[in-house]
Amino acid sequence: METSQDIAYSPSHFARDFEATLTRQAAAGRELAKRYSPIALRAGDDPAACFNLFIPKGEGPWPLMVFIHGGYWQELSNTATDFLAERYLARGMAFASLGYGLAPKTSIETMVAQCIQGLEAAYHALTESGGAWPILLGGHSAGAQLAYWVAANGNVPIDKLVLVSGVYDLTPLVGTYVNKPLGLDRENARALSPQFAALAQLPPCQVVIAENDPPAFRQQGHDFVAALRAASVQAKLLDLPACDHFDVLDYL
């Protein structure tokens, strides 16, 4: 039986037509990959820990955006965000769509390690092709939580974090349908929550929320920005109108 907490953390409940949005975005990514062949690479042994690297034409160095997909740590793949590369290429930026293993087979801790490896691999691959600077790291939904841990623990210095419709406090998920494949208890969920982690060393952050995100997600965005500012991190909250948890990516 669906509980009120399940609904509070169900982005699809508040979205217009999330399946149509995801289908459209995936098709746009496939079409772009046909026109603008990315470099497909793997970071580690897990086939899901891979990325597509789109490099602008001309000579580098190029700014690099590395983006981590969402899916509540249990769905989608790196290709779900390939469509975003179009707008970054138009700005003369390289783009890497980062993938990771999914729950229940893969723990969130392992996902973080895979994303750290993926960022490093994307950085080195672009460096070998002409250089990478500056480095931006983004993530959507569950990917925003992963992006925090990559920025906090990785070896590649991040110049800016872009966190979109994220979950920064995982403890409310423990009693919901989301947690069934994750298997988190409250202690583990808190330890994995950026909201309660060390924030002071983060680069400037842009935290994005959608007008039609679940209210719980919107509140988490506001709370995380407040925590960032309390830690003296430069943080900007971008509240995008007339979009939901899924099509918010169309307006970045």
Q: Which residues are catalytically annotated?
A: 141, 213, 245
Which residues, 6+ apart, have CB-to-CB distance to 208 below 8 Å?
162, 163, 164, 165, 221, 237, 238, 239, 240, 248, 252
SS3 75: coil
Strand locations in 141-249, DSSP E? 160-164, 205-212, 235-244
Scan for tokens 């966190």, then name that residue: 163
Angle between helices 108-129 and 142-153 (to 10 degrees): 70
Cβ proximity of 85 and 33 under 8 Å? no
Element of type H or E holding 4: helix 4-8
Amino acid sitting at position 100: Y
Number of C-beta neighbours around residue 104 at 10 A? 11
Cβ proximity of 125 and 95 under 8 Å? no
What would the two tokens of residue 192 be? 């994995």
